[in-house]
Amino acid sequence: MTNLSKEIKKTAPPRVIQVPGAPNSTALGNIDQLLLILPEKIPVSLWRKIPNSNKIQALMRRRVKGNIPAIRTRLNNKRHTAVFIGTADPTKNPFELLTFARKMVGSATTEKAGTLGIWVNGFDDETQEQLVLYLTAAAMAAAYSTPSFKSKPTQTKIKQMKIIGSRERLDLRRVTAEAEGNNLARCLTALPANKLDAYAYRELLTDIAIAEGWEHKEYGINELVEMGAGAFAAVAQGNENDSAAIVRLRYRPGAKDVSPALSLVGKGIIFDTGGSNLKPFNSMLNMHIDMGGSAVALGSLLALARSQANIPVDAWLAITENRTGPMAYKSQDVVTAMNGKTIQTIHTDAEGRMALADALVLASLDKPEALIDYATLTGACISAITKRYSGVFTNRPDLHPILKKCGRDSGERVWPFPIGKEFLEELKSQTADIMQCSPGGGGDHILAASFLEEFVDKTIPWVHVDLSACTRKGGLAHIPTEITGFGVRFTLQLILDSNFVTGKIDI
Ligand SMILES: [Zn+2]
């Protein structure tokens, strides 16, 4: 097993034990930190079910409104179980409740490592289950620390989780699968580019494919050049070696030889220097995250597979560096993409759309029923909507309400922008079919998406996700780390809970 495969193993969420029914003192006694979630108005009947209720009631009366958690105390048992009480308002939206869950879990993980208990009490069954799932998602995210190469490794604070006090055992498959996909995406995105170089990434994908039983195919750079993928090759030609590739992974829950119902495409720029149009220090500092789109595509594939989604899914990961050097592509080069379209290059730092163009052409050839791509594509998208949301763009504007709803319901919020013909006027080229980007002017997120649309088969409903929420200081929703892995939960919501992929192929 390679070192990176060992790193991936650590992304597995901790074990969850469920003890339904009213918790007794033995169940409570085995918990190191207990998250107890109560309604804002606590009825007298509820106090009777809570241990140390006199002491807790007194503390609650003195609480500072708005504090998360509301109070902290300890149970008088052998482990001195630390109790963190939070009051939840279930009318809040999923993003707010996931944020609440992150803060609750965050307060408990300052304690020593151990068993984290989750007890939601005093709500109707459905609300209770939903709150438990949010807290579980937050705990699974907090239990995973992104890769560290310190000689003294940091230990996870949450060794195991215990869900207590629910009426019956909850189905945790979906929340676990989403955590697995998100943790994997965060792990890969956080890895330094000298640990996860293109060769190592490809090797790792082979290992994952074998472990998951996925079909795996690599289109190496030489093969891609022969196939006419001149847009991807333009970026890859600055590499020192032949490490660039587009990797295809296939999840098939049934028959192996069916075409995909869904294809996921990801931008996998191992490190983005900006190329010949070199980035300044501040803009280049964190460019090891520029493969985040491919990590989210892979994480989403894993989450769909682990939740046993009954649809055949492909992932296409476009992996290369964007480097300077005598061979690197330049402004005003003209290259031909695999669909025959010629591109006048303008700015070598707009490499993501070049690499994605050919990956989208390749993915389109299999005629999936739906196509989604993920990319840390433009600074313009961050300027437009900050790092709290990601931008979405589609060739089916009718999907805008569905995309927004899935963003809202998953807690990974997205916002749609217009694209198309009108914007392509700004990409009119004198020397080729299209300019890569506009030399001046704003709205690059819209222009980039309009450019990408030119490489997608028009018969396929397509969504482009510009991952402006890929990183955010302090985390986002239930995720406590700066690298958020944003996109996996949104994707599962879109695929499993909307009719985005409708005619699920009979398998
Ligand atoms: Zn770039």
Closest CA to 46 of 123, 100, 101, 134: 123
| Predicted pLDDT at 507 | 38
* 353 among known catalytic residues: yes
Does residue 286 surpass a pLDDT of 50? yes
Q: Can you read off the two tokens belonging to residue 103? A: 């803060």
Does residue 505 surpass a pLDDT of 50? no
| Ligand 1 centroid from CA 326, angstroms | 18
| Predicted pLDDT at 1 | 64
| Ligand 1 centroid from CA 271, angstroms | 9
Mean pLDDT for the chain?
95
Query: For the residues 360-389, what does the mean pLDDT come to?
Result: 98
Residues 507 and 313 sit within 8 Å (Cβ to Cβ): no
pLDDT, tens only, 254-269: 999 999 999 999 999 9
Query: For the residues 293-318, what does the mean pLDDT come to?
Result: 97
Closest CA to 359 of 257, 236, 261, 271: 236
| Predicted pLDDT at 27 | 87
Tokens 């590739």 correspond to what residue?
A: 245
pLDDT, tens only, 425-450: 999 999 999 999 999 879 999 999 99
| Ligand 1 centroid from CA 330, angstroms | 13
Ion ligand 1 neighbours (CB, 5 A) are 272, 349, 351
Amino acid type, 161: M
Q: Can you read off the two tokens belonging to residue 329? A: 């592509």
| Predicted pLDDT at 440 | 86
| Ligand 1 centroid from CA 446, angstroms | 16
Query: For the residues 57-70, what does the mean pLDDT come to?
Result: 92
| Predicted pLDDT at 386 | 98
Does residue 93 surpass a pLDDT of 60? yes
Query: For the residues 339-368, what does the mean pLDDT come to?
Result: 98
Q: With left for phi above 0 and alpha for psi between -120 and 50, is residue 203 left, alpha or beta? A: alpha
Residue 226: burial class (beta carbons within 10 Å; 0-12, 13-18, 19+) = exposed
Question: Which domains are delineated in the chain?
Answer: 19-163 (3.40.220.10), 178-496 (3.40.630.10)
pTM for this predicted structure: 0.97
| Ligand 1 centroid from CA 427, angstroms | 18
pLDDT, tens only, 6-40: 899 999 999 999 999 999 888 899 999 999 999 99
Neighbours of 498 (CB within 10 A): 15
| Predicted pLDDT at 506 | 39
Catalytic residue among 10, 72, 279, 408: 279
Residue 48: burial class (beta carbons within 10 Å; 0-12, 13-18, 19+) = exposed
Residues 211 and 227 sit within 8 Å (Cβ to Cβ): no
| Predicted pLDDT at 502 | 73
